[in-house]
């Protein structure tokens, strides 16, 4: 009767074996190793690999097409071309086990094999592995490989790397092997980064001379892709116009004559003209229109550091404020909130580098200092902060198109002095102080849903307030700060792929409320307060590749600065540079010039 009663209460129940899938995979993998019930043998480079048709077809569309449909093969042995035996062994292990170990030694073979067998997970994993290891020594090969297999993401990443390091990449042997069509695409590319337009002419000569007899025929069409009117006139007349390749070719002479007319034309076309031929000849490449500078704000004082002059230059001052938020977005730099004489501010000012002027914009709804200010998808977000009485959890969003602030969803916690960064389509808020406790939690905001989530991202190892944060290569770096009376030099990084924090090399000394900015995978931490209560002018640079910090040029004066990299018009830089700029003696110029080879140097 009791048994019947159970069935009256519950008509059915579902039971799930959580180990079933793993058990089946292991069992089938052992069956392949011992050739149990295998029904096909793959032959690669003379090696035989027993396997199961159903397992192969279930994992790979390549094998699905091979073993099914009207074109299906019924042979017990199948020869597979265009893949190495080593790659086949590794990929079969993945098909049967679901995991793969990619190394620098096997990645190329595995990548090519996964593209052939249409194993998308492995292909994407190889792409990520390769992207993380892009270097001058392999960038051309990776670009060619990704082009061959139509891997657009990897192709774009490799192309961007080459564009940003073009002169150095062109010194590699693979550059001399480029087909003329590929070289032409690069010479016309507006995104390549060079110091001077004539650098491209010298690289073109180098490419031609590698096989002059054949390549001299391509010289006219390739030369025309160089923006000759942007070349230094003296260089144009003394070097280019007198070159044998120019003098001996009537077609090239015509190109030179046309360029000369542009160079000495009394009326120049405006840079805003549409970038189509013939106007494109008249417009400098993107890297030569602006210069990337390090901008700092400390109180009312604003200054920029420009690597070519290796000096700091004062720019227009803004209204006095401390502990404000600073962020660059588009061509503008925004300073928001802060405090003056212990009174919190809601004002917003925007710097226009074209005019060297600050303009008053719409104020926030809530006065706040110590805020996190970030830009995402063309909007500014002011996150948390301190209102003079307690930490706050509200968040405001600024739309520059309508000059208006509006509230969005509030954080789950009040946070003062939290680290706020963006990555992908989300905002991350890390640690900070809620008025009673230093927080370890990380909150993530999705503007698409207007929802904050907690718990999905791993908590930080060391709780801290007024630390600095930056994002490089899908990792969030949190640096310095303090916890109570403990001032911290430590740095830890959250790998967003693994959702795991790990300690990195520490600063040379503790600091908090410093400025932080990223340029080409290097993190610059500028000024701030030290553990002894004094402001510092020192600037440290972190290299994510070597996990090392180095001291670079100091700020003009000790300050708890706010910092950002932004693009300045070259013409404005020239106006700001005095005849004898004041220098302060370190190697920030070398660090930035290494990075700013991507931004260009004056002619």
Distance CA 146, CA 153 (A): 8
- Residues with Cβ within 8 Å of residue 243, at least 6 apart in sequence: 205
Distance CA 356, CA 430 (A): 34
CATH 2.120.10.80 correct for 289-576: yes
Q: Residue 66: which pLDDT band, with cuts at 50, 70 and 90?
A: very high
| CATH node for 17-133 | 3.30.710.10
Q: Strands 290-298, 562-569: parallel, antiparallel or unpaired by DSSP?
A: antiparallel
Q: Quick check: helix, strand or coil at residue 327?
A: strand
The pLDDT of 544-555, averaged and rounded, is 93
Helix (H) or strand (E) holding 255: helix 250-263
Distance CA 125, CA 104 (A): 13
pLDDT digits (tens, 9 = 90+) for 177-199: 999 999 999 999 999 988 889 99
- Whether pLDDT at 560 is above 70: yes
Q: Which of 48-57, 220-229, 256-265, 467-476 has the lowest mean pLDDT?
A: 256-265
Domain extents for the chain?
17-133, 178-288, 289-576
Distance CA 427, CA 448 (A): 11
Longest distance between any two alpha carbons in the chain, whole Å: 109
The region, left, alpha or beta by phi > 0 then psi within -120 to 50, assigned to residue 220 is: alpha
Q: What is the DSSP letter of 284?
A: P
Residue corresponding to tokens 């996990």: 547
Instruction: Report yes or no: 373 and 326 within 8 Å, Cβ to Cβ.
Output: yes
- Whether pLDDT at 419 is above 70: yes
Q: Quick check: helix, strand or coil at residue 23?
A: helix
- Whether pLDDT at 431 is above 60: yes
In 185-298, DSSP assigns E strands to 290-298
What does the radius of gyration of the chain's CA atoms come to, in whole angstroms?
Answer: 30
Q: Give me the chain's average pLDDT, please.
A: 89
The pLDDT of 534-559, averaged and rounded, is 93
- Residues with Cβ within 8 Å of residue 337, at least 6 apart in sequence: 321, 323, 324, 325, 344, 345, 346, 347, 348, 364, 367, 368, 369, 371, 373, 382, 385
Closest to 295 in 3D by CA, of 358, 381, 362, 383: 358
- Whether pLDDT at 600 is above 50: no
Distance CA 406, CA 425 (A): 19
- How much is the pLDDT for 603? 27
- Whether pLDDT at 475 is above 60: yes
Distance CA 603, CA 600 (A): 9
Distance CA 332, CA 569 (A): 12
Q: What is the DSSP letter of 505?
A: P
Distance CA 100, CA 438 (A): 40
Instruction: Report yes or no: 445 and 410 within 8 Å, Cβ to Cβ.
Output: no
- How much is the pLDDT for 25? 87
Distance of CA 173 to the CA centre of its chain: 27
Q: Which of 47-61, 64-78, 446-460 has the lowest mean pLDDT?
A: 64-78
- How much is the pLDDT for 589? 54
Distance CA 54, CA 31 (A): 13
Residue corresponding to tokens 């004062």: 314
Structure tokens at 127: 């792409």
pLDDT digits (tens, 9 = 90+) for 264-277: 764 444 444 344 44
What are the distances in angstroms from CA 118 to CA 110, 121, 138, 143, 181?
12, 9, 24, 20, 29
More confident residue, 511 or 284: 511
Query: 237: burial class by Cβ within 10 Å (0-12, 13-18, 19+)?
Result: middle
Q: Strands 40-44, 77-79: parallel, antiparallel or unpaired by DSSP?
A: parallel
pLDDT digits (tens, 9 = 90+) for 205-238: 999 999 999 999 999 999 999 999 888 888 999 9
Distance CA 461, CA 52 (A): 47
The pLDDT of 158-170, averaged and rounded, is 94
Instruction: Report yes or no: 218 and 208 within 8 Å, Cβ to Cβ.
Output: yes
- Whether pLDDT at 356 is above 60: yes
Q: Residue 106, Cβ neighbours under 10 Å: how many?
A: 18
Q: Residue 134: which pLDDT band, with cuts at 50, 70 and 90?
A: very high
What are the distances in angstroms from CA 142 to CA 100, 111, 414?
21, 11, 47
- How much is the pLDDT for 322? 92
Structure tokens at 53: 């048709």
Instruction: Confirm whether pTM is higher than 0.95.
Output: no
- How much is the pLDDT for 113? 96
Q: Residue 133, Cβ neighbours under 10 Å: how many?
A: 12
Q: Which of 8-22, 274-288, 461-475, 478-492 has the lowest mean pLDDT?
A: 274-288
Query: 180: burial class by Cβ within 10 Å (0-12, 13-18, 19+)?
Result: middle
Q: Residue 10: which pLDDT band, with cuts at 50, 70 and 90?
A: low
Counting residues of the chain whose pLDDT is more than 70, the rounded percentage is: 91
For the chain, how many helices (H) and strands (E)? 20, 31
Please count the CA atoms within 13 angstroms of the CA of 566 that sit on its side-chain side: 25
Percent helix, strand and coil across the chain, each to the nearest 5? 30, 25, 40
More confident residue, 369 or 11: 369
Please count the CA atoms within 13 angstroms of the CA of 425 that sit on its side-chain side: 6
Distance CA 251, CA 447 (A): 56
Q: Strands 522-526, 539-543: parallel, antiparallel or unpaired by DSSP?
A: antiparallel
pLDDT digits (tens, 9 = 90+) for 99-132: 999 999 999 999 999 999 999 999 999 999 999 8
pLDDT digits (tens, 9 = 90+) for 294-324: 999 998 999 998 877 788 889 999 999 999 9
CATH 1.10.150.20 correct for 178-288: no
Distance CA 211, CA 222 (A): 15
Cis preceding linkage at 140, omega within 30? no
């Amino acid at each position: 009767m009791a048994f019947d009663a159970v069935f009256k209460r519950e008509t059915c129940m579902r039971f799930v074996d959580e180990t079933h899938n793993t058990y089946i995979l292991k069992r089938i993998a052992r069956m392949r190793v011992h050739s149990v019930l295998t029904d096909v043998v793959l032959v690669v480079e003379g090696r035989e690999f027993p396997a199961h048709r159903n397992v192969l077809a279930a994992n790979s569309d390549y094998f699905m097409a091979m073993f099914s449909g009207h074109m299906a093969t019924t042979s017990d042995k199948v020869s597979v071309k265009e893949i190495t035996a080593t790659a086949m062994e590794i990929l079969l292990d993945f098909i049967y086990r679901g995991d793969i170990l990619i190394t620098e030694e096997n990645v190329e073979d595995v990548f090519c094999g996964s593209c052939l067998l249409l194993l998308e997970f492995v292909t994407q994993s190889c792409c990520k592995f390769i992207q993380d290891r892009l270097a001058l020594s392999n960038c051309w090969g990776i670009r060619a490989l990704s082009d061959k297999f139509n891997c657009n993401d990897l192709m774009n990443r490799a192309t961007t790397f080459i564009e940003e390091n073009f002169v150095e990449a062109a010194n590699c042997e693979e550059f001399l092997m480029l087909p003329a069509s590929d070289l032409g695409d690069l010479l016309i590319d507006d995104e390549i980064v060079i110091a001077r337009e004539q650098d491209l002419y010298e690289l073109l000569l180098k490419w031609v001379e590698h096989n002059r007899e054949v390549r001299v025929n391509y010289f006219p069409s390739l030369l025309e892709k160089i923006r000759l009117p942007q070349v230094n006139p003296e260089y144009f007349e003394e070097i280019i116009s007198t070159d044998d390749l120019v003098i001996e070719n009537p077609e090239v002479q015509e190109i030179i004559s046309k360029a000369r007319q542009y160079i000495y034309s009394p009326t120049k076309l405006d840079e805003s003209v549409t970038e189509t031929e013939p106007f494109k000849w008249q417009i400098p490449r993107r890297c030569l229109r602006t210069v990337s500078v390090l901008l700092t704000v400390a109180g009312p004082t604003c200054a920029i550091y420009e690597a070519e002059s290796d000096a700091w230059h004062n720019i227009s001052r803004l209204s006095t404020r401390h502990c404000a938020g600073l962020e660059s977005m588009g061509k503008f730099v925004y300073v928001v909130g802060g405090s003056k004489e212990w009174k919190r501010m809601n004002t917003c000012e925007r710097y226009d580098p074209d005019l060297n002027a600050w303009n008053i914009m719409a104020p926030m709804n809530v006065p706040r200092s110590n805020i996190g200010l970030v830009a995402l998808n063309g909007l500014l977000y002011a996150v948390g902060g301190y209102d003079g009485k307690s930490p706050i959890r509200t968040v405001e969003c600024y739309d520059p198109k309508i000059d208006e602030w509006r509230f969005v969803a509030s954080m789950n916690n009040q946070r003062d002095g939290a680290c706020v960064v963006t990555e992908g389509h989300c905002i991350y808020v890390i640690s900070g102080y809620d008025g009673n406790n230093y927080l370890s939690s990380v909150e993530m905001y999705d503007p698409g849903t207007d929802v904050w989530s907690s718990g999905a991202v791993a908590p930080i190892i060391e709780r801290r307030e007024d630390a600095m944060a930056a994002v490089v290569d899908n990792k969030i770096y949190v640096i310095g700060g303090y916890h109570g009376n403990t001032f911290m030099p430590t740095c830890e990084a959250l790998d967003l792929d693994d959702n795991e924090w790990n300690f990195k090399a520490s600063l040379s000394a503790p600091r908090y409320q410093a400025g932080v900015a990223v340029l080409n995978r290097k993190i610059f931490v500028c000024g701030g307060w030290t553990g002894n209560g004094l402001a510092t002018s020192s600037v440290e640079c972190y290299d994510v590749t070597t996990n090392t910090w180095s001291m670079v040029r100091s700020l003009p004066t000790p300050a708890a600065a706010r910092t950002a990299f932004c693009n300045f018009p070259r013409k404005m830089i020239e106006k700001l540079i005095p005849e004898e700029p004041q220098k302060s003696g370190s190697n920030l110029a070398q660090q930035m010039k290494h990075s700013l080879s991507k931004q260009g140097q004056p002619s």
